[in-house]
Amino acid sequence: MTSVAADPLGPASANVVKVQDQANAATGRLIGFAFVDTSVTSRGSLAKLPPGTKIYPPGSTITGTEGCPTTRYHTDGLIVAVIDYQGRPNEGSITVIRHPAPGMSFPGAPYYLDLNAGRTLQYLGPIGANGTYDVKFSYNYAEGQQKSTAARLTLARNCPGGGGF
């Protein structure tokens, strides 16, 4: 006769494992970067990319006048990270590391964000100066092991007025 030990947590323990497995199954990808204006960034976590907005993939080098501000107060040409996330609601962060010259590295403070399934935009701050930027996306803080991914963006633009903010 085979005996089966009773689960000390009862039937609820199966649900705990299931929730934990769902969290560990969460996937997030840093799709790329886009240039938007304040009508988008002012929407915060509800922001959506306007139709036709170009998304630059990780590793892109932006040249010419692409993404340069065209308004007096630089209310356009704002860089956002484009994130696709699948999983239950969770926390995440974006950290921008500036490399203005070879051998130099200046990490900024992380931007914390709430993640829901679907596409999320995160404003990367007033970035106008040419240089290389590494963007680290981390998530899954509350539910299991933290996951991270990173992408690089290089600005080599010729913005009217110098391009710096």
CATH number of the CATH domain containing 87: 2.60.40.10
Specify if 149 maps to a domain.
yes
Q: Report how far residue 14's alpha carbon sits from residue 60's, in angstroms, rounded to the nearest whole number.
A: 45
Mean pLDDT of 25-52: 93
- How many structural domains comprise the chain? 1
4-13, 18-27, 49-58, 73-82: which range is least confident on average? 4-13
4-18, 87-101, 108-122: which range is least confident on average? 4-18
Specify if 13 maps to a domain.
no
User: In terms of residue numbers, what domain contains 151?
Assistant: 27-162
Q: What is the pTM of this model?
A: 0.81
**Tell me, what's the pLDDT at 164?**
54
Specify if 140 maps to a domain.
yes
pLDDT band at 19 (very low <50, low <70, confident <90, very high): very low
Specify if 136 maps to a domain.
yes
With a pLDDT cut of 70, the percent of the chain lying above it is 82
Beta bridge partners of 132: 99, 154
pLDDT band at 6 (very low <50, low <70, confident <90, very high): low
Q: Report how far residue 25's alpha carbon sits from residue 20's, in angstroms, rounded to the nearest whole number.
A: 9
**Tell me, what's the pLDDT at 21?**
52
Specify if 157 maps to a domain.
yes
**Cα-to-chain-centroid distance, residue 35:** 14
Specify if 46 maps to a domain.
yes
The two tokens of residue 41 are 């960034």
Specify if 3 maps to a domain.
no
Residue 13 three-state SS: helix
**Cα-to-chain-centroid distance, residue 56:** 13
With a pLDDT cut of 90, the percent of the chain lying above it is 62
Mean pLDDT of 78-86: 96
Specify if 11 maps to a domain.
no
